[in-house]
């Protein structure tokens, strides 16, 4: 009896974590600047954006070409985590990017990265959910979302 109550509570905790992006990703984003993780990311994905998915830098570049990104474009990166791939695309193609994600530690990391890459004038980090975007209609030239289901 005790065991089943306990496992029900664990199921509850797991279900809450999987439905709440902050519970699921916040700790991970705070730890993602560890040298060993950045080294692994560089080796596996080709970048060091503290990415939390499977999209490689070269796939991100292909997305940029497919979207025909160019300077002056305004890109939305939905579910951007720590800013990948939006910040990479802004750097590579010269566009502006708004990153949006419900996890605030990701937004903080994305802003710091934009500063380091001299992209602060071309980047805005927004904390929010895909189902309730705080933007007027048709204000983006392109939208990207990498490893996001929402
Ligand atoms: C697997 S991570 C990918 C992050 C980033 N695109 C990358 O490649 O590193 C998925 C991200 O989607 C975000 N997310 C989950 N539900 C969301 C929603 N409803 N709206 C916007 N973002 C959401 C999470 O907070 C998380 O940062």
Condensed to tens digits (0 to 9), the pLDDT of residues 96-144 reads 999 999 999 999 999 999 999 999 999 999 999 999 999 999 999 999 9
Which pLDDT does position 27 carry in this prediction? Answer: 87
Condensed to tens digits (0 to 9), the pLDDT of residues 59-75 reads 999 999 999 999 999 99
In the block, tokens 């805005």 appear at 124
Residue 80: closest CA among 72, 71, 90: 90
Residue bearing the CA closest to ligand 1, atom 22: 79
The pTM of the full predicted model, rounded to 2 decimals, is 0.89
Residue 112: closest CA among 44, 27, 48, 40: 48
Residue bearing the CA closest to ligand 1, atom 16: 150
Domains and CATH numbers, the chain: 22-144 (3.40.50.150)
Task: State the maximum Cα–Cα separation within the chain, in Å, rounded to a whole number.
Answer: 63
The model's confidence at residue 4, banded by pLDDT at 50, 70 and 90, is very low
What is the whole-number distance in angstroms between the Cα of residue 81 and the centre of ligand 1?
5
H helix runs in the chain, sequence order: 2-19, 21-31, 35-45, 57-66, 86-93, 104-116
């Amino acid at each position: 009896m005790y065991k089943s109550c306990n496992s029900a509570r664990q199921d509850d905790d797991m279900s809450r974590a999987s439905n709440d992006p902050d519970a699921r990703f916040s700790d991970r984003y705070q730890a993602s600047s560890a040298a060993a993780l950045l080294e692994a990311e560089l080796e596996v994905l080709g970048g060091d954006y503290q990415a939390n998915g499977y999209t490689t830098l070269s796939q991100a570049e292909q997305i940029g070409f497919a979207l025909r990104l160019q300077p002056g474009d305004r890109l939305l990166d939905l579910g951007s985590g720590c800013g990948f791939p939006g910040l990479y695309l802004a750097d590579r193609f010269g566009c502006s990017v708004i990153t949006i994600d419900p996890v605030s530690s990701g937004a903080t990391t994305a802003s710091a990265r934009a500063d380091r890459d001299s992209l602060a004038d071309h980047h805005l980090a927004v904390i929010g959910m895909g189902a309730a975007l705080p933007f007027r209609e048709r204000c983006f030239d392109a939208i990207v979302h990498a490893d996001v289901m929402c």
